[in-house]
Amino acid sequence: MATGVVIGALAFTLIALLIPVQKFGGANASAATAPAADDDGGGIQSTAFGPLTPQDRDFVRKVRLAGLWELPAGRQAMQRGTRPAIRTAGMHLVEGHTELDRRVLEVGQALGMELPSQPSAQQQGWLDQLEKAQGPQYEQLFTQLLRRAHGKVFQLVAQIRAQTRNSMVRALATDANTTVLDHITVLEASGLVDFDGLADAPPGTPAAPAPAAPAPASSTVPRPTK
């Protein structure tokens, strides 16, 4: 009888331990690692390149949107930047997104997707801020806005590259990973990135004033090869 009680107690303990593991380590863990995406309601679609999920389509659209504001921002930096490092960063943005935009249009056509033709309202707001900024404030704002945006998309690229089952989306994510990492590198090479200011601020929090810009420095980052 004593042996039976011990066995029963051990079995009860094992069940109690397994329940939270299954509850919190299964579905919830999968949800926590899934890419944050806007669901267009189209569900999972079959294509010649593999299943196309809402997350895949959202990623392709975001790659297109990135080029729609970062290309003009890069051209502007090449013209208005007084530091060689800022002009170099602008050049990398233009070269990288010219090629990436060509690729994303090919992917969108192959997958039968309609892609944006204008920047989002938020992205247009960033372009408006850059247009109004002057002198050192412009260079600081350019660096911070672009570095923050690239940091966010870098995380999404990694998630999509690891999880997508669509070969076209996977190839686009590979190209985007190379481009985004290059842009992060040249932006940081400017010496103007405020890493403490890269984290999301609570809604309604006013933007902190740009710190004083350091003395001009030349960039030693090579041009990307395409």
pLDDT in tens, 55-87: 999 999 999 999 999 999 999 999 999 999 999
First to last CA, the chain: 76
Mean residue pLDDT of the chain comes to 80
Residue 111 token pair: 């997958």
Average pLDDT in the 158-182 region?
Answer: 96
Q: Which residue's structure tokens are 């299964």?
A: 26
Alpha-carbon span 52 to 169, nearest angstrom: 8
Average pLDDT in the 102-106 region?
Answer: 97
Instruction: Fill in the DSSP letter of residue 23.
Output: I
pLDDT in tens, 194-213: 999 887 543 333 344 444 44
131, pLDDT greater than 70? yes
Closest CA to 212 of 133, 139, 127: 139
- What three-state secondary structure class fits 164? coil
